[in-house]
Amino acid sequence: MKISIASDHAGYEVKESIKVYLKQLGHTVNDCGSFNAERSDYPDFAFKAAKLVANGDVDKGILVCGSGIGMCIAANRFKHVRAVVLRNLADASISREHNDANIACFGARFTELETIKKLIDIFLSTRFEGGRHENRIKKLDSLSC
């Protein structure tokens, strides 16, 4: 699977660990920054990674900042992006099953790396159920604001 990944300064170290983990699982990783732990603005990096997802250049995205919230808000500016903040196993599975989420956002200050890895495993392996959820996703993707 092709995955874009990005962080701001607060998520840099976690992003680097996730990148290694994803490569160990056999995924292709496109790192969109940040490339160090110096203060940075999360939208700059979230936009780069989300654009790759929106354009279909990658299959999924993973974003990390202090809380996960800022990155999530930034990523959801793009049409065809359904970014979610994941903090527990139920979030990871239902966001894929019901919402066909394509970007997972994590808070480096709130979620431990081992938990993030478990959430990533669920997020990447869970399929969208379609069915009654399909029309809702079509409505989201058709919105033009």
Show the domain range for 65: 2-142
Q: How many domains does the structure of the chain reveal?
A: 1
Could you read off the pLDDT of 67-96 as tens digits, one per residue?
999 999 999 999 999 999 999 999 999 999
132: CATH: 3.40.1400.10
| Residue 56 tokens, joined | 């279909």
Q: Is 65 a catalytic residue?
A: yes
Q: Is 72 a catalytic residue?
A: no
Could you read off the pLDDT of 13-41 as tens digits, one per residue?
999 999 999 999 999 999 999 999 999 99
pLDDT at 142 > cutoff 90: no
pLDDT on residue 141: 83
Q: In what order do the strands lie in the sheet with 103-107?
A: 28-31, 2-7, 60-65, 103-107, 83-85
Query: Residue 139 CA to chain centroid, in angstroms?
Result: 21
pTM for the whole thing?
Answer: 0.96
**Catalytic pick from 65, 72, 80, 145?**
65
